[in-house]
Structure 1
Amino acid sequence: MLVDTYGRVATDLRVSLTDRCNLRCTYCMPEEGLQWLAKPDLLSDDEIVRLVEIAVSRLGVTEVRFTGGEPLLRPGLTGIVERCAALAPAPRLSLTTNGIGLKRTAAALRAAGLHRVNVSLDTLRPDVFKTLTRRDRHRDVLAGLEAASEAGLTPVKINTVLMPGLNDDEAPQMLAWAIDHAYELRFIEQMPLDAQHGWTRDGMITAGDILTSLRTRFTLTPEGDDRRGSAPAERWIVDGGPHRVGVIASVTRPFCRACDRTRLTADGQVRNCLFAREETDLRAALRSDAPDEEIAALWRQAMWGKKAGSGLDDPEFLQPDRPMSAIGG
């Protein structure tokens, strides 16, 4: 298994398929984009499937989430999903996406074996969406959400980041809309993973702010830690149920003690924490014809050295060199 020195076991693998994205969200990357990874540096489809197979057959991984950048930009995505779904033991497969390409891909991805999707949507207002993402694609995201629901990629989860002066007044409206459409909404605190390194603690909307805003319209009852497990989101029952809303408070309420994640970047580096500044190169081992057990041993070693926490509460905290788009959500 992928165990660290604090006894945590990583069973949830996040696989970044590309660092490219077709949005330019202000809290993620600059308007001109970034210098993308060169194609030879990216893991091939075969290399991705092999690493996922090692993870599920030798290292105890039970859940695999494909991320980006924007994973729907990855050629061959459906084939990757289909091959991973056929592994034994078969992992639970999910996808985190901005939703723009879901209308044309949702049915095929479900048929290939994908179980569900998380879609990033920060606002219900098209003009605010355009300001936040620097693209006029709000209608496409809504269409993608509808297609995912119709295809059976459920529960469809929505990830929302609130930004001061832009959409910080939308929390109650977002929750009411999500309930009406049977989507599961999760608010995420803005994290120090922007390419511009412009994040400041004073400039973020906190979990406390979000809950205060939601309570102006809804009654929220804590679901309880016994139901949360290793999930990053604290969940609240809305107006007595059955609907729920989640808040991922990575900054103000860290959940590192229960973390069960291991991460693989699009160029084959293992990261034992979202905020890690060190990586372990599995791509080099793959391309030097290392056997599966040697790669598994490298992976175990990488996770064994995982720190107790993210370090966000340390005055000496330094952002990772890679932004979120190059790490994977």
Structure 2
Amino acid sequence: MTAVDLGIPRVPGAHTRPSAPRPDTPALIDTFGRVATDLRVSLTDKCNLRCSYCMPAEGLDWMPGEQLLTDDELVRLMHIAVSMLGVTDIRLTGGEPLLRPRLEHLAARITALKPRPRLSMTTNGIGFAKRAKAFADAGLDRINISLDTINRATFERIARRDRLPHVLNALAAAREAGLDPVKINAVLLRGINEHEAPALLRFALAGGYHLRFIEQMPLDAQHGWNRSEMVTAEEIQDLLGTEFTLTPSPAKRGGAPAERWLVDGGPQEVGIIPSVTRPFCAACERTRLTADGAIRSCLFSTEETDLRALLRGGVSDEDIADTWRATMWGKLAGHEINEAGFAQPIRPMSAIGG
């Protein structure tokens, strides 16, 4: 669906509430003309790693099981999204989505929806290697696997678990199963692994993986994010530039979060997601569903809309769709990380979904 020209969103002043009447369209449009077609679905807040930039070593208090959406509830909401709201892409996230029981079966139910959405997943990869073919058979199209280092000791330092071989096996299995592309998500931490940026890129290029570096965002459960400790997109470019020549990719970026760079003239590329220093809010096309059934219009939203109560209260699909539309109509212009009044969401990344 095409966007309605209602203005270009700006990050400053993002807390201004919409006042214009909503256009008569079934799409998930907001007051700035952006249309959400990409649904991020968190399946659980649990994780089997304890990455230092995400959660404390002792973990968190997980959501009680009865608060989580059931498979039937998830499928119903995704059916509403693709058949009534114009969603074309669904990404399964967590916490760690592979901890969701019978996930391959759920994936098959999602890809059986009409119209069929493109289905992807973001995971730490632990345990995926032995399940890769089953996910491919269920219709999973693409996968993003988190990997911040290829040094085993550094991996254990960051993740607080000695699981690097499991992640490397997951990458190889994903490629062998025919998932395409297989992407690597990497976060660089100052004083820990930023010097490994060129090595990570060499590894990705050799393996045929699509590497994307992500600026560390203020979404940790500890609320300990410090801007001065974040390795910026510009610094990442400089680090990679010590071994590679990067030139802007001619490919259209669209609503994709990554800035794409040709490596040594191409055709292989590397992505850099400058979430903090060069926000891409103006082109955002995402809507988010938490594992307990809340709709969030932005990763950094301080408000959300409870759909679980509507599901369990017996309301119609159209009522749920209208509520979803109203939530997205109220989407703010940007996350305001770079503004003095920025407030980090109460929910951490593990409870929101990537």
Match of 1:234 in 2: 259
**C-alpha deviation, 1:92, in angstroms:** 0.1
* Local SS of the residue matching 1:101: coil
- Show the 5 A alignment for 1:281-292: 281-292=306-317
| Bigger Cα displacement from structure 2, 41-50 vs 215-224 | 215-224
- Show the 5 A alignment for 1:317-328: 317-328=342-353
**C-alpha deviation, 1:290, in angstroms:** 0.7
The equivalent position to 1:269 in structure 2, one of 294, 316, 337, is 294
* Local SS of the residue matching 1:170: helix
* Local SS of the residue matching 2:337: coil
- Show the 5 A alignment for 1:117-196: 117-196=143-222
Residues in 2 aligned to 1:327 and 1:161: alpha-carbon distance in whole angstroms: 18
* Local SS of the residue matching 2:236: helix
- RMSD between aligned alpha carbons? 0.6
Residues in 1 aligned to 2:109 and 2:80: alpha-carbon distance in whole angstroms: 13
* Local SS of the residue matching 1:35: coil
Residues 1-39 of structure 1 show CA distances to partners (whole Å, capped at 9, x for unaligned) of 000000000000000000000000000000000000000
**C-alpha deviation, 1:174, in angstroms:** 0.6
* Local SS of the residue matching 1:228: coil
Residues in 1 aligned to 2:302 and 2:131: alpha-carbon distance in whole angstroms: 34
Contact 1:45-1:76 within 8 A present in 2 as well: no
**C-alpha deviation, 1:138, in angstroms:** 0.5
The residue type paired with residue 337 of structure 2 is: L
Residues in 2 aligned to 1:290 and 1:107: alpha-carbon distance in whole angstroms: 38
TM-score normalized with structure 1 length? 0.99
Match of 1:112 in 2: 138
- Show the 5 A alignment for 1:1-329: 1-224=27-250, 227-329=252-354
* Local SS of the residue matching 2:80: helix
Q: Which runs of 5+ in 1 are unaligned?
A: none
* Local SS of the residue matching 2:29: coil
The residue type paired with residue 62 of structure 1 is: T
Residues 107-132 of structure 1 show CA distances to partners (whole Å, capped at 9, x for unaligned) of 10110010010000000100000000
Which runs of 4 or more aligned residues in structure 1 lie more than 3 Å from their structure 2 counterparts after TM superposition? none
Q: Which runs of 5+ in 2 are unaligned?
A: 1-26
Residues 213-267 of structure 1 show CA distances to partners (whole Å, capped at 9, x for unaligned) of 101111111014x610110000001111110000001000000000000000000
* Local SS of the residue matching 2:63: coil
The residue type paired with residue 322 of structure 2 is: A
* Local SS of the residue matching 2:35: coil
Aligned pair count reads 328
Contact 1:267-1:283 within 8 A present in 2 as well: yes
Residues 185-225 of structure 1 show CA distances to partners (whole Å, capped at 9, x for unaligned) of 0000000000000001111000000000101111111014x
Tell me the percent identity: 63
TM-score normalized with structure 2 length? 0.92
